[in-house]
Structure 1
């Protein structure tokens, strides 16, 4: 059997993505400690110099365990902020909780850009009125939290149900 020697393009580094790199603003932070809350994540981003430099953040959670899934999505406001977050968080291990997890930064996929992230979640079950605010994605303008745009269709309750 012959295995192809074709090199697969590396898309998980800044400046090396299949689309126009200047339009890539969304990253995924992997290996976030599962006990981190959204507020802890936002405080960490701000303390590392990113206050006002991101306009979307979401830390997906397991509602039953009341724990995050170990990754977060962050959309930065410009390419300089993208490069800076990559430098600050790829290999980051100075979490405020005891853990051996080491952060990895990857491109957010398949959603890129503020509008794409908002459209992805505005009609999502996570935005249902029964879901506590702490589990929802948040948006910002100049570092100030803004109301999430209303849904464009009926939002179904998540499978966890309302408590």
Structure 2
């Protein structure tokens, strides 16, 4: 790139240098004042950092125990007022936790002799255990009729399970009474009953040392018992082994009671 100048430059001219504009000079101060004046551009003192040691307890139980000891430790001002023998004594132990007192729950006491129906309003079915195996259903009906007549109660269902091959009962029976008061009364009467000697309808003498044990049945109520056995099939040849419903209920006062109504179905055994 070429630039055309209007005139030829002088090769012997002095070198050109730019003239800088300097600030006006500061007024001169006395020597006494200048010796006490701080420097205008003095560097600030360096910052100093201090590291604080932090320790964390490895055992939280020991840490909490140390804090509780510090809380119960007497202060330094109070320690100076103590006698010398107490100044070196260990800190007092922390106060024990409050003692929990056991209180008996006030449960209402129910007298079964006065209000058994209110206490056991939903239980009417008993399970009679330890029955001699030679006894049949007709004997149990007469046996219950005698006790129901003596104690003025009534029952409406009876089932004496049988072993169809040995033709003997299994040693227990289910009896449903008309109300809970009657069930509670017969439970007390028949408990620990001793059979000893009895005569069956065939004239056979039954001697047994069994003692009756009375418990509440798992299935309770007449309707529940009927639903339990109405669709059951019994593999036997005689309806005497079936559960029966007594309608009207038997209380032992009728000399000619109505025939029991069988519940369930019979399946004849193949010979």
CA 24–99 in structure 1, closer or farther in 2 if over 3 Å, else same = same
Q: Structure 1: which 5+ runs fail to align?
A: 1-13
Decide which of 232, 237, 261 is 1:147's aligned counterpart: 261
| Contact kept in structure 1, 2:131 and 2:212, CA below 8 Å | yes
TM-score scaled by length of structure 1? 0.74
- 1:102-136 CA distance string (max 9 Å, x none): 00110111x1100011111111112x7x6411101
Tell me, in whole angstroms, the C-alpha distance in 2 between the residues paired with 1:131 and 1:23.
Answer: 36
Tell me, in whole angstroms, the C-alpha distance in 1 between the residues paired with 2:146 and 2:270.
Answer: 34
The secondary structure found in structure 2 opposite 1:100 is: strand
What are the within-5 Å matches in structure 2 for residues 100-111 of structure 1?
100-109=209-218, 111=219
TM-score scaled by length of structure 2? 0.46
What are the within-5 Å matches in structure 2 for residues 1-163 of structure 1?
21-49=120-148, 53-94=154-195, 96=198, 97-109=206-218, 111-126=219-234, 131-140=237-246, 141-143=248-250, 144-148=258-262, 157=267, 161-162=269-270
- Deviating above 6 A after TM superposition, structure 1's stretches of 4 or more consecutive aligned residues are none
Q: Structure 2: which 5+ runs fail to align?
A: 1-111, 114-118, 199-205, 251-257
Query: Relative contact order, CA 8 A, sep 6+: which one is greater?
Result: 1
Tell me, in whole angstroms, the C-alpha distance in 2 between the residues paired with 1:135 and 1:148.
Answer: 9
Moved more, 56-65 or 42-51: 42-51
The two structures, once aligned, show a CA RMSD in angstroms of: 2.6
CA 119–33 in structure 1, closer or farther in 2 if over 3 Å, else same = same
Tell me, in whole angstroms, the C-alpha distance in 1 between the residues paired with 2:226 and 2:160.
Answer: 14
Moved more, 67-76 or 93-102: 93-102
CA 57–162 in structure 1, closer or farther in 2 if over 3 Å, else same = farther
Give the number of equivalent residue pairs.
137
